[in-house]
A and B are shown apart, each in its own frame.
Chain A
Amino acid sequence: GAVVSQHPSWVICKSGTSVKIECRSLDFQATTMFWYRQFPKQSLMLMATSNEGSKATYEQGVEKDKFLINHASLTLSTLTVTSAHPEDSSFYICSARAPGLAGGEQFFGPGTRLTVL
């Protein structure tokens, strides 16, 4: 149990286009989902926290108009990178928490590698 999927696993797009990444909890209901970003050879940094049915909370320095997050259901959160540019090329990983989980416990998706040309 506790499986989180991400789609697509990798994507290459042209500069200026928008890309949508899906994060799904397959066998549990995720009231909270987190989006992290990892640049090459760097650590994972939290971008935003999304709670089902409410607006996402973005970390300082993350442009909410550029990285649109929607958590419309208990099993799906989406991250849309709008007007992507080469500097947005990164590894994006989501994680999901369910009610009742012990503190900090969360399940990670396999990640999406975005390359913007």
Chain B
Amino acid sequence: AQKVTQAQTEISVVEKEDVTLDCVYETRDTTYYLFWYKQPPSGELVFLIRRNSFDEQNEISGRYSWNFQKSTSSFNFTITASQVVDSAVYFCALSAAGDSGYALNFGKGTSLLVTP
């Protein structure tokens, strides 16, 4: 069985602060995929990143960066110099072949509020 834990329910920061969203996962599969999605108030899911289990290289995309550590089963997401537009709910998700054909298992989400 797959499980994704996002321990932080809500985070509030002031604009320009850095913020890290934590994600811990559990799986017995050796091949799996990790994702982060952003969900603004409109509800539509915005894809941010996909990582496979064999690629532990950290990634940076603009103000966003991701730290994947298999040793701790974590896939944390950092926003540098946060902006008000970053306010949203962020979901970490896990997928594997055995899971209904690559369906996503989502964490409970972290609600991020960035205030001016």
Contacts and interface: CB of A to CB of B under 8 A. Distances in A.
Interface of A: 32, 34, 36, 38, 42-46, 49, 51, 57, 59, 91, 93, 95, 97, 102-106, 108, 110-111, 113
B33 A103 contact: yes
B104 A46 contact: yes
The main secondary structure of chain B at its interface with chain A is loop
Q: What class of interface size applies to chain B in its complex with A?
A: 20 to 34
A36 B47 CA distance: 16
Interface of B: 31-33, 35, 42-45, 47, 50, 52, 91, 95-97, 100-109
Contact of B45 (A42, A45, A49, A108): A108
Contact of A113 (B43, B52, B101): B43
Contacts of A102: 33, 50, 52
A104 B106 contact: no
Nearest to B108: A43
A111 B44 contact: yes
